[in-house]
Structure formats: structure tokens, C-alpha cells
Structure 1
Amino acid sequence: MTQGFMIAVFKKNLENEFSIAPHQHNMGVFLNLACPKSDHVLRRAETNNYFSEAYYWIIQGTSFESATERLNRVFIPPCSQVLVIYLNEGSFQLKYFYKAASDTPLRIDNKSHAFHGEIIPNRKDLEGIYLRSIIVIAFPDVFTTLDDQRMRHIDTMAKANFPISRNLREDLNFNFDMQQADNFGWRRPNGSFDGMVGKLQRNEVDFGNVAIFMRLDRIPIVDFAADTIRVRACIMFRQPPLSAVTNIFALPFTGEVWFAILLFLVTTIIALKVLVSYATTPVNMNFMDCVDFAWGAMCQQGFYVDVVSRSGRILVFTTFVTALFLFTSFSANIVALLQSPSETIKSLYELALSPLELGVQDTVYNKIYFKETTDPVTKFLFEKKISPKGDAVFMRPEIGIKRMRKQLFAYQVESQAAYQIISDTYSEPEKCGLKELEPFQLPPMSIPMRKDFPYKELFRQRLRWQREVGLIRREATRWFPPKPRCETEVEKSLLVTEELRECNVKMFYGISVICANNCV
């Protein structure tokens, strides 16, 4: 009891079925092979997977030969803890027994001498047995090989996880026959699963060569060994120009600027009217002519009346110089605004309200997680940008990244797939303008195994060992490209229709007024 074990004692003759309460761990079982029903107990333990790391067996035999002959009839996995006690020349001997597979000879582990933690590392040799595995290739039409780094963004998870399974095969000395599926496995309306999880559910394969999401609906169907490489999905976009979200030609005119311009116009009109009224030489100008002069000077236009007085000419000169400086400052401000990003989109809510279109990488989990999310902002984004377009919003990364480069477009994509395409196709200034937002956190990814897989704990420990020594990190670095670096932020900005939209609108209104006036 000092080790925290529970002991199961069966005093009856096991006429009923031998069973242990489920979900019991650190359960100790003592079996005397001299009992008449001991073979029945061994067969039931093999069938119900009681020879696992969760149960510690102490089996008493009359002799070494008798115990070996009896235990050789059942499969005792390497993850098991079966200690056999027998009498040899007047003294008791203790031996650990296990088998690499059901059809391999019974092995004796003389190195194990303690409870959990020191048994499994001594039993890594599975003697070349064959296991059934499966891998998911989501894009078989463009997939080449598992070692092709030229197209790292195609089935990246399969390419990154397969070397991990290969290392596991060499570490444990086993072989595997590999099947192929086209999806990871999702729940059907009838409760069963398709894809890789479905094959694991039906015991058609033993484990997966690629990690899958650890979802709550999958936990009752499959077991998970250990997490390998995590996937990050984000919405990538380029901040839209200011002209797409506001009228850049009105931005320089703050309240103070409007007040200064109005004061300048009023002062010019009043001063010109006073000079005309008291001029020694008559000038044919009324009040509206003074207003027309001031407005024309602001628009860099001349005037049809010649002011001959010296004071009048000084006023005209001062007015046009002031208007020139104002026009030059406005033009310089517009040029700066044309080359400035808007920086208006900093959250999913602002993205949902922006003029950007949204595309989503064509994967099954994107269609599921957007519908399952409980975050109100993500749900609002889904209802506003994704749901109205139906299946047209789902596209492959090559198409989405290309549209994101040239259009007002945002694209939800796995970061490793996007980074590879961006590094190959984007210019340096274009890489600097990229922004990322995460609509939801994806769960960890782990190697799946069928239920009651006899090598479950062995796989778990050796996969954790790969993480500790850096083998998993090596594969992640090899297959997952880093985020493109921003080398320079200088980018040429060309005037396009979007930037000139407000000017075109004003010009259309002006031409319409002129045409209407001429018609009248």
C-alpha cells in the first residue's frame, strides 16, 4: 500500500466471468497458477487488455518451466508489468515476463526491478513485427512524395510527421504497412467517423503516421500518444489603403484648418471690397465679384478684372502667395497619405466591418471550427463574411495568397502554407505590410492509436523522448518555413482608381452642374 496500489482478491472459484472495474489504475492482481481457473483468468486478461501498464500482476508458479509454458499461451505486451514468482532449489525467484507480439517467444526481463518508469525502457526491441498504419494525403492531385521539399505547403503535416514515425520505427525495431486516407476523420450524423479516425475506430489500422487534433468527440474513439507539431491558423491580410476606408482628400482639413481658410477668405473678401469701394480709380466690381476672386485664388485660378491701384495689387499678390503655400502643403500631405497604410484593422470585429473580402483555406476543420466557435466576434465574422458566400469562400492557398497580394482581400490559412507561398511570390515591401489575426485557437495535435493498442505507453514514452532530444523540433524547422522577414518598408505607390474615387465623384458633380446650367 505504500506504493499506492489497490489489491483485487477473488476468493471464489471464478465461476463467473473474471473482470476488473473500468478506469482503475495502479491495480495490483495476484494470481496463483495452481488454481483450477487460472488459465481462464489469463485468457480473460488478454482479451480485456488487463496486461497493460495500469495493472501490476504478481503470478505465483510452481516452477519456472510450468510458469513459462502457461504464460506462453497468452500475449503479454512489452508495456505490461507481470512479475512471476516460482520456487527454485528451495528459494523463491522473481522474473518479469513479456512478449513482443502474440506470435513471438516469451521474453524474460532481468533488468526491470521497480514499478512504473523503469520497465518499458528495457523492452524497446519489438523484434521486427509488422503494424498497420495510415497516413492522410489531403491533396493527392498535387502531392508528389513525402520527402519533396519543393512543395512544402502541400500536405505539410503528413510530410512533417512521417519522419517522426520513421524514427519511432527505427527506435523500437518494428515495421509498418501504410494505408492512405483523404481526410483525418470527422463525425458522421450516425455517430461513426470517416477517414483515418474511422479506420482506427473499426480496428482496421493500429496507429496513424500523422498527428490529428485532440478533439473531445475523438477521445472515446481513439487513444492519443503524444503531441508532436502544432498548427497555427490565422487570417492574413494587407492593411487597406486610406482611400479604401476614408476620403483622403478631406483628411488634411481639420477643424483648425477649416477655420483658418474661412478666416482668410472672409478677410480677403472684406479687404478687397473696401479697397474697391474707396479706390480713386473706379473699378467695376461688386461684392459677388470679390467673393469670386477669393474663391478663384484658393483654386489657383486668375481673375478677369484688373486691379490698378497699388494697394489692390499688393492684396492680390498676398492672396495668391498664401493660396500657393496652402495648395503646396495640401499636395504634399496627399502624397504622404497615398503611401501610408490605414492601420484601421486591429481586431476581428474591425475586419468584419472593413471592405476587405474574406477567403478561407479549403480544409474540413475550417468548415467545422467556424460553425462550432462560441466566440461572439468570430461568429459575427462568420455570419457577415463567410456564411453568405457559401462554398465559394473556400479556396486553396495558392489562389487565396495571390488574391491577397493584389486585391482588398483577407485569407484564413495555416501559417506554414502561407509563409512558403509568400516567400516565393511576394516582393520585400509586400511582405512588410502583412498582418495576422487568429479567429480561434486550434487544439494540440497528437499521434492517434486504436483503442487497446498494446504498445500505447511504449509509443508515448519514445515520442516524448524525441521531443526532449530535439528530433521533433528538427522536423518542424525543416518543414515549417519561418515567417517572412521584413527587409525594407519602402514601397512605390501608384495612383489607381481607388485613390481617385473622390476626385472623380466631385468632377462628375461639377460637370453635371455645368451641363444643367447650359441647358437652362
Structure 2
Amino acid sequence: QLPALTYKSGILLLEFASACSLNALRWAAAAEHNYFTTNRFWLLFTDEPTHISLLDDEDIFLPPDGEVRVMLWQPGMQFFTLVDVYKVAADKPLRRTLVGGRELRDAEDMLQALGKFGSAISYRQNLEGITFKTGLVIAFPDLFTNIEDLSLRHIDTISKVNNRLTLELANKLNLRFNTHQVDNYGWHKPNGSFDGLMGRFQRYELDFAQMAIFMRLDRIAIVDFVAETYRIRAGIMFRQPPLSAVANIFAMPFASDVWIAILLLMIFTICIFIVELVYSPHLHEMDILDCVVFVWGAMCQQGFYANLLNRSARVIIFTTFVSTLFLYTSFSANIVALLQSPSEAIQTLSDLTQSPLEVGVQDTQYNKIYFNESTDPVTNHLYHKKIAPKGENIFMRPAIGMKKMRTGLFAYQVELQAGYQIISNTFSEPEKCGLKELEPFQLPMIAVPTRKNFPYKELFRRQLRWQREVGLMNREELKWFPQKPKCEGGMGGFVSIGITECRYALGIFGFGLLLSAFSFILELIVNYVWNLAKKIHRIKKQRKESNTADGYRGNFVH
């Protein structure tokens, strides 16, 4: 009796040469069943060596993934022989390998022979050039040039990097591809079917994909995923907006206590000037409001129109201009630095939602699906506020989206590897600084899919994991996935001043225009009312004088 194994199911078939047993083997080997897998150990019993040739039947496909042993009992002797059998393909001849010696006497001998034999798949790595039907997604056929084109590695990166792994797989296992190109990974449709690559798997038109796709629950019913390869990161990339876009930079050069001190200085200077005007022995061509205008003009480095004769007033003017000169110099130097500094205002998706940045999305199908499927309330808020209202116009090619991000207040949802490549090619060194990325959702791992009950699944899985262990996957990742550009040039460089930076100055100017217009209209009204009152008073006075004159004439007549 063999010991039980938790990871395998044992199947014992006595007299497998009988018609019933052969039918059972044909049923188990059918493509829709494929019971010959690594987690099932088949032990076929016979006492006739010629019965093994019955397994050459094309309907009995014993794939390389299978664990099938034939126990050949020698009649009249107290030992048996164990034979490992498999086929490279259904139309290929049966391969036989002796397990252990020719004389196995009990279960202990059998276990020792199986342990020494090891994994049967290790001996089955030559598939003799058989051809598999494979699928390859080229999502941007209008931009695609060649599957090996490194100059456009940000175009269909997933297909290119994973194709290298499958080519290495083909070289290792000696197999060939009959590649079918599609332009869509395949997504679930309302009628239950799939389009694109997944649709071909659903119709059993492909054996496996020459690339990797996202592992999703709705795809597990259609395909089996052999081995995961890489993690694709997609995030919203943006440049931190300048301080002038999110804050009033004119209030930032000085701390609050400095502004309070400046205000107190202005009030104190105005009061001293007023005292000087009131008690000065000299006559001045200015009043109290002129004192306010002088102090305000001194703060703005403006001259003064009045000519003061006494020395005390001139000392006040001199000390005021000198003190404001230092303040003005410090203020201007800080303004220049602040204009070239990015802000740290956007750190989370909530900050991005409330920011003035517009949002664009890479025109890939999975972006539309994962935004709709997201259950995160912050991501949903961002989607319904800045993405959904703009419809299809928000989806754009990476070259367009990254250009808008470089030149304006714009955030772009893109595969980070593609974004890094465009940044390296088109951004200047100062523009690479202040870059930020936020992931609205976590993309699943990508894995190589095969059709259901694929008889070479375990063989492929081991080879792909071997590529990971020896560093082949890492080599291809470094080759095809651009790394994040580093900020090496600092934030220096020429900064153009736009309307955004001048909006507070323009606001003050507009307020001054409105105030002057209001004052002008008020002056006209006051002048009109004053003239009207004077006219009415003059008319009343004339009437009174006229009435008085008429009274005198009447008395004179009488």
C-alpha cells in the first residue's frame, strides 16, 4: 500500500487493456476533461508487455504534464517493472522510460524508484517543434512598428516585454507559434461573451497567449493563468502646481508678525507726520490724507510730490524711505524664489479632486472599466467630478496627455512606464522636478493565459518561473520598462510670468478702477445735487425779492 499524498489523487486502473478501461482512458484524455495532470497519479496495471502499445491510440493523449505509470507484472515471478509513458502530442508516438530497475519487488522498492526518478516533467522539455495557436494584442496598430522596437517601447509595452518571455519559452521547449494578432485584450460584454483576445479563448481558437493579461475573476471561467510575470502600475501623473496657482505668493515673503510690524510702522509714521504738520511753525501744502498717501507710496517705492521746508519733516521722509527700501528688497527677493518653487499642495486624491488641475485619461479600455468598478469613495468622487462629465473627450493618447501635463495645469492617468519614457524624451531637466504620481486603483498582476484544460500548462508554468528565478524576467523588465526620471537639474531656469501669477495685482488694479469710477460718479452726483440746491435757493431768493418789490410798488400807488 502506497502512502497517501495530500497534493495528488491516485487512480489505479486494473487490466487497462480491456475495452472498458481503454474507453475510460479516451474519456479522461478528451480536451474538455484532461484528467492527465500533475495532481493526478495514474497507475495502469497489466501483465502483458504488448498491452503498452495500446496507448499509442491517438484518442488517448498522455500529455507531458501527466503522471502516468504502467506497472508490468512478470507472470510466474515475484517482481514487476514500472514504466513512465507520455506523448509529446496526440499524433506523436508514445514515449517510454523505465523507472528504477527491472526488478521491483514491493511498495518500498517502488517508492524508492519513484523518488530517484523525480519529476517526470524534467525529462519532457523537448516538444519536437510542434506548433501552437497563440494570440498577441497590438492595442495601437497605427503606431506599432516592430515587436522588438526599443525606440517605441512605451507603445504596447505589455505585449513586447512578455513576448520576449514566450520566445525564450519556445527556444527552451523547442516549439513554434502560429500567432493571431488582435487589438483588444478582451472584456466581458452584456450578452455574456467576450471580445478581443478573450473572445478567441472562449471560442477555443487559441492555445495560449504570447503575452500576459490582467488576472480578473470574469476571465478565470474562460482561461487558466499559467504564471504571473510583471506588475503594471497606472497612476495619475502631474507636476505640482506652482505656489502662485494655489496660494497668494504676495503674502508669503513675510511671516505674520512681520506684516503686523509693517502695519504698525505705517500707522506710527502717519501719526508722527500728522503731529509734525499740526505743530510745525512752517506752512505745508498737504493735509492729513496726504500723510497716508506718502506712507503708502513709500512702501511701494514711489516718490512724493510735496516740497517740505522744515528739517524734521525731511528726517521723517528719509528714515521712512530707507526702512521701506530694505523691506522692499527682501520682499522682491522672496517673490523671485517663490515664483520658481512648486507647491506641495497635492498629496492625495482628495487634494487632486479639489485642485484647479484638469484631468485626462489614457485611452485604454481597462481605465474605463477599473474607474467604473472602483469601490473607493475618493476615487469615485474624483471620477464623477473630473472625468465622467467630460465624456469621451477626456481619453487621449499618451503623447498628447503628457504634452498637456508639461505645459499646463493638467494631470494625466497613464501607465507609468509609458509616462516615464515620454518624460525622458520630451521634458527638460527643470520640468522633471516636481513630478508627482497617485494611483487611483491597484491593477492586478498580469499572467500568461492558456485555454481551459491545456495539457502543457504545468510545463509552461515551470519554465516561466525558472525564467524569474534565474533573472531573465528582471533583465527584460529593465530593458523594456523605463525607470522614473530623476530630478538632476534642480528647479532653476527661466520662469515666465503669466496671468495666474498676476491675478492679485490685476485684482487690486480692478478694485482701484471700480473705486475710482464709484468716486467719480459720487462726485458728479454730489456736484449735481449741490448745483441744483444752489439753483433752487437762487430761484427762491429771486421770487422773494420779486414779491417784496411788488409790495413796495403797491404801497406807492395807494
The two structures have a TM-score, normalised by structure 1, of 0.92
Tell me if the contact between 2:17 and 2:51 (Cα under 8 Å) persists in the aligned partners.
no
2:98 alignment partner, one of 78, 103, 110 = 110
Partner of 2:537: none
SS in 2 for 1:78: coil
SS in 2 for 1:410: strand
Partner of 2:22: 39
* Structure 2: stretches of 5+ with no match in the other structure: 101-112, 525-558
SS in 2 for 1:114: helix
1:30 alignment partner, one of 9, 12, 16 = 12
**What residue identity is the alignment partner of 2:162?**
N
Distance 1:440 1:461 in 2: 31
Partner of 1:19: none
Deviation at 1:83, TM superposition (A): 0.8
Distance 1:360 1:295 in 2: 50
Distance 1:110 1:354 in 2: 72
Distance 2:284 2:493 in 1: 54
Deviation at 1:70, TM superposition (A): 4.1
Larger Rg: 2
Identity of aligned residues (%): 52
Superposed CA deviations along residues 96-144 of structure 1, whole A, max 9, x for unmatched, are 1000010000001336853796111111111211111110010111111
SS in 2 for 1:472: helix
Map 1:195-234 to 2 at 5 A: 195-234=196-235
Partner of 1:68: 53
**What residue identity is the alignment partner of 1:422?**
I
Tell me if the contact between 1:135 and 1:181 (Cα under 8 Å) persists in the aligned partners.
yes
1:54 alignment partner, one of 29, 32, 39 = 39
Distance 1:421 1:124 in 2: 41
Deviation at 1:516, TM superposition (A): 4.5
Are 2:302 and 1:319 aligned?
no
Quick one: structure 1 residues 515 and 181, their matched pair in 2 at CA, closer, same or farther if it must change by over 3 Å?
Answer: same
Deviation at 1:202, TM superposition (A): 1.4
Deviation at 1:54, TM superposition (A): 1.9
**What residue identity is the alignment partner of 2:68?**
V
Distance 2:118 2:359 in 1: 51
Distance 1:289 1:467 in 2: 81
* Structure 1: stretches of 5+ with no match in the other structure: 7-24
**What residue identity is the alignment partner of 1:44?**
W
Distance 1:364 1:4 in 2: 48
Tell me if the contact between 1:345 and 1:354 (Cα under 8 Å) persists in the aligned partners.
yes
Map 1:54-133 to 2 at 5 A: 54-70=39-55, 72-73=57-58, 74-88=60-74, 90=77, 91-110=79-98, 113-114=113-114, 118-133=119-134
Deviation at 1:2, TM superposition (A): 6.7
SS in 2 for 1:249: helix
Deviation at 1:241, TM superposition (A): 0.9
1:508 alignment partner, one of 502, 507, 510 = 510
SS in 1 for 2:150: coil
Deviation at 1:71, TM superposition (A): 5.1
Tell me if the contact between 1:228 and 1:446 (Cα under 8 Å) persists in the aligned partners.
yes
Bigger mean CA deviation after superposition, 379-388 or 258-267: 258-267
**What residue identity is the alignment partner of 1:398?**
A
1:494 alignment partner, one of 493, 496, 509 = 496
The two structures have a TM-score, normalised by structure 2, of 0.86
Tell me if the contact between 1:132 and 1:178 (Cα under 8 Å) persists in the aligned partners.
yes
Tell me if the contact between 1:348 and 1:381 (Cα under 8 Å) persists in the aligned partners.
yes
Distance 2:122 2:508 in 1: 79
Deviation at 1:443, TM superposition (A): 0.5
SS in 1 for 2:251: coil
Distance 1:436 1:302 in 2: 50
Tell me if the contact between 2:371 and 2:380 (Cα under 8 Å) persists in the aligned partners.
yes
**What residue identity is the alignment partner of 2:24?**
V
Count of residues paired in the alignment? 502
Tell me if the contact between 2:13 and 2:43 (Cα under 8 Å) persists in the aligned partners.
yes
Deviation at 1:255, TM superposition (A): 3.0
Distance 2:126 2:48 in 1: 27
Distance 1:94 1:111 in 2: 5
SS in 2 for 1:488: coil
Quick one: structure 1 residues 136 and 34, their matched pair in 2 at CA, closer, same or farther if it must change by over 3 Å?
Answer: closer
More helix by share: 2
Tell me if the contact between 1:111 and 1:122 (Cα under 8 Å) persists in the aligned partners.
no
Distance 2:302 2:475 in 1: 69
Tell me if the contact between 1:207 and 1:447 (Cα under 8 Å) persists in the aligned partners.
yes
SS in 2 for 1:187: coil
Distance 1:251 1:365 in 2: 43
Distance 2:342 2:516 in 1: 36
Superposed CA deviations along residues 422-446 of structure 1, whole A, max 9, x for unmatched, are 1111111111221111111111100
